[in-house]
Amino acid sequence: MEIIDGKHRKQADPTWPEEEIEVKDQKQEILVRMHSNYRRQVSKKETQTQLLMLADILEAEGVPREEVASKLDEMTPYTISWIGRLLPKRARLASVT
């Protein structure tokens, strides 16, 4: 079993509560992490990295590039405008830019 979110909290406090969640792939792992951390302050760079990883996964799954931002809006806790600011132009919708 691997800690996918809260490694530093668990290191600082070994009694920190744990919740077991089975994730089937990297996409689900990223989504669990994003939703777990939505209410805490996460760096723009970390969020951008996670969004870019998801964008690459979605494209590999066959989602057309022009639909990636909309799909991320559906899947993640972030707004389409925030997603548009963090993604490079290649993954943005025309309406986001």
What would the pLDDT profile of 71-90 be if each residue is shown by its tens digit? 999 999 999 999 988 887 75
Question: What letter does residue 39 receive in the DSSP assignment?
Answer: T
CA dist 76 and 18 (Å) reads: 23
H/E stretch holding 28 = helix 26-37
What would the pLDDT profile of 6-40 be if each residue is shown by its tens digit? 666 667 878 877 777 787 899 998 999 898 887 77
Residue spans of the domains in the chain: they are: 25-91
Whole-prediction pTM: 0.76
